[in-house]
Structure 1
């Protein structure tokens, strides 16, 4: 049994923020950011929240593929910037889409930048149970709301956006093979928000990240989890048509591909134009690549997530 990708869509924050504009407010430059990250600009959502962008992305997917949204059985939203702790962002998207509450399940997963891969893993398992026929997995973030805009090590990296993928149960389709891991003892490497137990622990709801530690973690686990996923799927990495890594940093992506001796042309990247959109980055990259022709349905792909937790995972499937 496998999955069929029935629709893909995306949405972006309404305002473009370039490196040159950032350099007017913090001690940085376009050249400094580009050299270290590969980013030239990112999108900022001034007036929309995560559920708004997620709804836009899901609507975009349905419209692009002429798919009836009422046919969706479940919504899984991967985000670390939800509208609220509760209700779930997925529930808000269900309501904004006008989907029948008696015929749909909706919930969130928070695995930071690995969230979409975990969501895909869960969705595949739910489809395999045959209780569901069509599931929407949405990665959506408004990181601009939790950034310290005076910290040049983090505010240069992130952007706001959402990506949606709708998958169906299909007995004749190739399987979706997933692996996911967690290293919670490295939790202090990347954190955001939180509810303090004691008042003296209270802190601003901003992102903190140990960038060098994240880099070392990523370049170590990306090759290993890709090889693990390929072995489980009984394929070779060289046989894949494309690889879509979490769009964290162009240097990380290039280094990981080189360590695996994979052609850089197989790596899909949109980080230059949208920055790091966390859980949204993989479906957003897929959606944009399908539109510009660098990806096509029917191609074999592996997606790889890594980030807060620390967490990491990979999934191999046919687009």
Structure 2
């Protein structure tokens, strides 16, 4: 028995925030000092490294659980299932519901419970819980659902990745330009064919790396009461290009597929240069050149929405909304992610 994705759905906010929107922003160094460079130069360098030209933010009347509900409804419709037959709802996020203009995350009740409530699922045997695993949370949720189904305790699972990062960024930190909002969801079901999840790999590095991403004070020393998402960018880059390629390689070897059979790599949309370096090092482990169009990217238009990047990317490709990228029955693909914890994971999947 294999486990397959039978439906996908996503919510991409309509509000486009282009890089030009940050031209009058007051960016500061971590010590509170001003940058010597102009915002024009800061933004141009930012685009060159991350590939981001614009990102999406949700409207003020929507929250993380709201957009997750919309993505979930679309995934359920796409799968053509009865929502009452869902055994598990696994919701990957990191900050809970953060209302517009507020700073405190709300996780009581869990966001998974909120989505189940919004879906109006009556079945108490549908178990809903949240997954806190950094940006790789959605993949880890899929891995857990796979285990539930293969063990026989579940037949159908809904796995969600959603975040509204625009509400927990320090406006004085230039890294704030990276983050975005979005939601993606999939239905996972048992399958009797050779398609679906073939192998997976996960790891948590916490001895030295636990606080590469953390909650910290504003770079504006006069506004120190509220904490925001912070990161040690250089350390994260070095960590990612070191550990993600090997995690992907181990996963591929376990699957018994040849690297030449891989059609697409759907990697967490964190940073264009970093993702390119990860994929390049992955292929170098097999003494291969990176194939053309192997890595679809949406970060240029959607930014980094953490746990939502991969499920939204998958849904967009399957719905024909990513130019020059398509998936066909029988294609072998790799999902891979890296993020706070520090965590890495990968899945080899056959469409």
TM-score by length of 1: 0.92
CA distance in 1, matches of 2:201, 2:148: 16
Aligned partners of 1:245 and 1:304 also within 8 Å: yes
Q: Which residue of 2 aligns with 1:12?
A: 12
**Counterpart check, 1:266 vs 2:288:** no
Partner SS, residue 176 of structure 2:
coil
Partner SS, residue 206 of structure 1:
strand
1:91-240, aligned counterparts within 5 Å? 91-152=113-174, 154-174=175-195, 176=197, 177-185=199-207, 186-192=209-215, 204-240=226-262
TM-superposed deviation, 1:237: 2.5
Q: Which residue of 2 aligns with 1:302?
A: 334
TM-score by length of 2: 0.84
- Root-mean-square deviation (Å): 1.9
Q: Which residue of 1 aligns with 2:46?
A: 33
Partner SS, residue 75 of structure 1:
strand
CA distance in 2, matches of 1:132, 1:218: 33
Aligned partners of 1:286 and 1:295 also within 8 Å: no
The one of 57, 72, 93 aligned to 2:71:
57
Equivalences, count: 311
CA distance in 2, matches of 1:66, 1:296: 20
TM-superposed deviation, 1:246: 0.6
Aligned partners of 1:257 and 1:264 also within 8 Å: no
CA distance in 2, matches of 1:10, 1:18: 21
CA distance in 2, matches of 1:132, 1:239: 31
CA distance in 1, matches of 2:26, 2:309: 25
TM-superposed deviation, 1:26: 4.0
Partner SS, residue 124 of structure 2:
helix
TM-superposed deviation, 1:193: 7.3
Give the gaps of 5 or more residues in structure 2: 28-38, 98-105, 218-223, 284-288
Q: Which has the larger radius of gyration?
A: 2
Range with greater deviation from structure 2 (122-131 or 172-181) = 172-181
**Counterpart check, 1:283 vs 2:307:** no
TM-superposed deviation, 1:274: 0.6
Aligned partners of 1:77 and 1:119 also within 8 Å: yes
CA distance in 1, matches of 2:225, 2:343: 24
Aligned partners of 1:191 and 1:209 also within 8 Å: yes
Partner SS, residue 96 of structure 1:
helix
Q: Which residue of 1 aligns with 2:35?
A: none
CA distance in 2, matches of 1:245, 1:67: 28
**Counterpart check, 1:292 vs 2:320:** yes
Give the gaps of 5 or more residues in structure 1: 195-201
TM-superposed deviation, 1:171: 2.7
